[in-house]
Structure 1
């Protein structure tokens, strides 16, 4: 007689990098608890990630203002009627999920919340008296939350592409068939403290664009990012911008074929890591010690400077105390080029 499926609801709304970091843990749960059925609550546009790993997905559509209250209650009712949940696991711990916790607990549903380690992260970023040490990774924090819910695991994950997958016709019209080396460059991040100066990253693009056997593939999001990457695409040979041309699921297919990805401390580092693509990650105001480094990425691929003021924040959203963002501006393009060469040589 087969066991009744265990119904697990997992909440992680944003940011994209943090959402991507749930994947190794969720896949490990699926593998080590075959009778577990997992449903993820996150922003609707990240659904392709979870479609790829075969878990259920629900995306809330919540309007702003008073109508949002109605939407929220309707969404909770939808979740509550969807399954009889054995446990709800909150990997985000924000107002949205805290309100869900209140409602689920009123129905008697077990609800387990992540410990984000806020105090130790604060101590890591305090200046001048830092507790400068490696903190548990976000993967470990996610796994510990599942453990407290009764699901201890060993995180075992390699790639979301265990089998070779072909590029779609839409992608091929942009990239062409792969020949030679493909270098991905994702030069942006949400906050200034995590962005390498574009004029310096342009030197990296220029350097590799002159190699006939190498193709540069640029990744970005918003309108201003698309504009700059389009300029680079026009200016340099063997350079293609994917910004605004394909969606998330298709981007993953391209990242899977890259020989290396150059990324800030941003979502693209984590997306490429899910594809087992080597990442040269560039760090400024933030630091890998905070626990947000890409899955299975070697430490030797990190580009960063040793400064007493680093890290000054966990998310890179604080103004530079010196006013010059020396943590990023003093990194030379040649340092990044050397890391790339070490991987693709």
Structure 2
């Protein structure tokens, strides 16, 4: 398993003293977090490496540009989607602009045409993909030889890196610290009270946990002495919970990450915040059912996965509360010793 991230700074020196690497993983938030062990391993193996990450604008806050990545190449897909066919000009200029970095290596950690085209136009000397999703992607970037569809996504990503060379460094994901945001948001709950953050939305309806069940879980956590913060995007219908901090639809991604990083405990369905919690070393309870947890669960030893029958909605709130309580108590015992 990937342990909690260690402190790290990018080494000084000439960029040519290490490999020059392009990583293409555009989205989604959780998948980008699960891609972070790849550049983290490269950075620790070769501190003077020159790393560029091509990523969509809506996910760019996931990338640490202080300790990990030298250049965050932001694909402005939110704007370009509105332009229709006219967006091809800006897209081509974006991809071609990467060529100036003269990459040694390129990794397509998504396998979609957009990421394959990114690598094709950037022209790294050697490339590998975790597996193209269509014929064009497979033609542009060779797929990894050791692909196993049952592998966890983090392990698959690291296996792809291994096909490009020897990178023995620790793979604990290096995520942005956002210390100033964390300090500001900590004023929203009592200093001595442990915070349980709940991500009450999900990217797809079949992954979602019902609002009324989240409300029951939240009320149980408040009764157990937690401060509770609710997280979710503007499309999420937040449950009405007296005493809870309602951040739903009010925070940017980096602010939501800061809340998760400040939490004593995080609970989420199969969505990006669970992976963020794992990356920060925060104990996490994950609710699955629609997707295989063996491949997509948060990659951590400090977590619990509950699997419903075809959907997390089949899980009873009492099960979720019990799992959260036991995980919290386990961590409290570990700290006390």
TM-score bucket (shorter structure): 0.7 to 0.9
CA contact 1:252–1:275 (8 Å) conserved in 2: no
Unaligned runs of 5+ in 2: 1-12, 135-147, 330-337
Distance 2:288 2:115 in 1: 30
1:205 corresponds in structure 2 to 218
Match of residue 317 from structure 2: 333
- What is the CA-CA distance between 1:98 and the residue it aligns to? 2.5
8 Å Cα contact 1:193/1:286 also seen in 2:
no
Cα distance change of structure 1 residues 154 and 295 upon mapping to structure 2, 3 Å threshold: farther
Partner of 2:306: 303
Q: After superposition, what is the alpha-carbon deviation per residue over 1:158-195, rounded to whole angstroms, capped at 9, x for unaligned?
A: 76478x9465564245x145322211111221112211
CA distance in 2, matches of 1:18, 1:169: 27
TM-score, L = length of structure 2: 0.79
SS at match of 1:171: helix
Contact 2:41 2:168 in 1 (8 A): yes
Secondary structure of the corresponding residue to residue 10 of structure 1: strand
Report the Cα offset of residue 6 of structure 1.
Answer: 1.8
The aligned residue for residue 292 of structure 1 is 296
**172 and 257 in structure 1: CA distance in 2 versus 1, 3 angstrom threshold:** closer
| Partner of residue 76 from structure 1, selected from 69, 74, 95 | 95
Does residue 146 of the first structure (1) align with residue 161 of the second (2)? Answer: yes
Is contact 1:158-1:276 (8 Å) kept?
no
Deviation (angstroms), 1:204: 0.8
Q: 2:68 aligns with which of 20, 42, 54?
A: 54
Instruction: Note the aligned Cα RMSD (angstroms).
Output: 2.8
Q: 1:268: Cα distance to partner?
A: 0.7
Matched, 1:342 2:326: yes
Matching of residue 9 in structure 1 with residue 15 in structure 2: no
Whether 1:98 aligns to 2:116 is yes
Structure-2 change in CA distance of 1:172 and 1:32 (3 Å) = same
Matched, 1:110 2:126: yes
Residues 264, 283 of structure 1: 8 Å contact kept: yes
Distance (Å, rounded) in 2 between the aligned partners of 1:159 and 1:90: 19
- Give deviations 1:90-132, integer Å, cap 9, x for gaps: 1111111222344345xx73322113799xxxxxxxxxxxxxx
Is the 2:112–2:132 contact (alpha carbons within 8 Å) kept by the matching residues of 1?
no
Structure 1 residues without counterparts, runs of 5 or longer: 119-132, 311-326
Conserved 8 A contact 2:269-2:288: yes
CA distance in 1, matches of 2:29, 2:52: 17
How far apart, CA to CA, are the structure 2 residues paired with 1:15 and 1:304?
22
How many residues get paired?
297
2:232 matches 1:220: yes
Q: 1:281 aligns with which of 261, 286, 296?
A: 286
Evaluate the alpha carbon distance shift between residue 329 and residue 244 of structure 1 in structure 2; reply closer, same or farther with a 3 A threshold: closer
CA distance in 1, matches of 2:315, 2:132: 30
